[in-house]
Amino acid sequence: MIREHRPSDDIQGALVTLEPGTGYVRALVGGTDFRDSQFNRAIQAHRSPGSTFKLFVYLAGLQVGMGPDTLFRDARVCFGTYCPRNFGNRYAGTITMADALRRSLNTVAVQIAAHVGIDKVLDVARDLGVTSGLEPYFPVALGASGQTVLEMTGAYAAVANGGVYMPPTPFLRINSVDGQLLWSHERDGEQGRRVLDRDIAETMNQMLKGVVSDGTGQAAQLPGREVVGKSGTSEGAKDLWFVGSIPQLTTGMWFGYDDNRPTRMNSGVTSEAWRDYMEPITGDLMVRTFPRPSSKVKVVQRLPTLPAQVGVSAVQADQPAGDPAATLDQPPAGLDDRVGPPFIQPAIPDLGAMPSRFRGFPMPEEMDGLSDNPQAITPSAPTEPGGAAAEPVLAEPDRPDPDQPSADPDDLASE
């Protein structure tokens, strides 16, 4: 399947399919040809997950009272020297949380991470089974780190399972040559645990459904079935991801080069491959839907506004008439503004050494096309603690890099 759907002859790929309710590994592919390379990219390669990592950011936001209808201001904002951008430096203005996920907007994801704190985002990722590359810096919120396909698939499977994480299990039992039971998952394996409130998980599934129904993951639609999921692309389109679920199965898929060359393709390639893989293996499965939240999740309807702090700009909203005041009911006491270097890992190590953790990726730039009239907000001179915050200044947005692929990895138009 990976060989058939890879977009070029020398590109690599990996795939994991899990049962959300059991954690059983139904399929695992570590590369295009085991005879050519025994390196298992599904469990050994730590690749930048791009916007698939936003799952943890949005879950953290839901846990502190945000909801699908919470409003944000999608405009350029800088956190010290870190200025997350949307594709083409285009911004949508006032937008709901659900629509920001559907369009894969970087600026909103970082605003959420700023309000909840990057440590909370990383705690959510750990709860969902991710242990690799979780350094406490803002770029990690956009996937500037290194996770395995198995880790990301297990996390999405937990959300599909209503918030219960089932550790991925490749074996049910191990017997000796004479038939004696040496190990069984039921007796000796790690058991499942609830890591998310059910309503939070089900709300997240409804938001991820919008990504596939009319967002950046449209190419992954399965006729007659409800699909939830998220596409992801690292900076320079070096990594192409899609992780998605139906109620009975979760599959994560990745394409990229072992030497981290840009693919010059978009995440629609992976979404289409995901669809072509899932369609035949789900043919005999009952058609099921994801449950909606059983009770209404408390939602903060007001537009979060980032407080002005040292090295951090405030985000000022252009509010339509009748919009509520631009403030959270109970904003955090301090804005998390750590912007240090992200922890990053390339796909394949030096085969002579093969350590478990590696560095080498630049920060990702998730891509999506919106308004052609952005306003960039950059911080003026920082204030001393306790002093008056200087007014942010508007700056001309950076122009797209002409050397970047013309197709947007997560652009609606490219799907």
Nearest C-alpha neighbor of 255 from the set 38, 52, 14: 14
Measured CA to CA, the distance from residue 328 to residue 312 in angstroms comes to 18
pLDDT of residue 298: 53
pLDDT of residue 286: 97
Residue with the two structure tokens 């399929």: 27
Q: What is the mean pLDDT of residues 183-207?
A: 91
| 231's tokens | 């596409």
The topology (CATH level 3) of 2-69+98-301+344-366 is Beta-lactamase (3.40.710)
Cβ neighbours for 346, distance < 8 A, ≥ 6 positions apart: 46, 47, 146, 260, 358, 359, 360, 361
Better-scored residue on pLDDT, 299 or 179? 179
Q: For residue range 397-410, what is the model confidence (pLDDT) as tens digits?
A: 343 343 333 334 34
Residue 326 has pLDDT above 60, yes or no: no
Instruction: Say how far residue 52 (Cα) sits from the centre of its chain.
Output: 2
DSSP 36: T
Measured CA to CA, the distance from residue 373 to residue 293 in angstroms comes to 37
Contact by Cβ (8 Å): 350, 250: no
pLDDT of residue 348: 37
Q: What is the mean pLDDT of residues 315-340?
A: 34
pLDDT of residue 399: 38
Nearest C-alpha neighbor of 52 from the set 410, 415, 412: 410
pLDDT of residue 299: 54
Neighbouring-strand partners of residue 254: 14, 241
DSSP 327: S
Residue 161 has pLDDT above 70, yes or no: yes
Measured CA to CA, the distance from residue 319 to residue 119 in angstroms comes to 30
Residue 378 has pLDDT above 60, yes or no: no
Give the global pTM: 0.75
Residue 333 has pLDDT above 50, yes or no: no
Instruction: Say how far residue 318 (Cα) sits from the centre of its chain.
Output: 28
Cβ neighbours for 299, distance < 8 A, ≥ 6 positions apart: 65, 66, 67, 68, 69, 70
Q: For residue range 24-73, what is the model confidence (pLDDT) as tens digits?
A: 999 999 988 877 888 999 999 999 999 999 999 999 999 999 999 999 99
Residue 230 has pLDDT above 80, yes or no: yes
Q: What is the mean pLDDT of residues 277-289?
A: 96
Q: For residue range 106-141, what is the model confidence (pLDDT) as tens digits?
A: 999 999 999 999 999 999 999 999 999 898 888 888
**Helix locations, 192-265, DSSP H:** 198-214
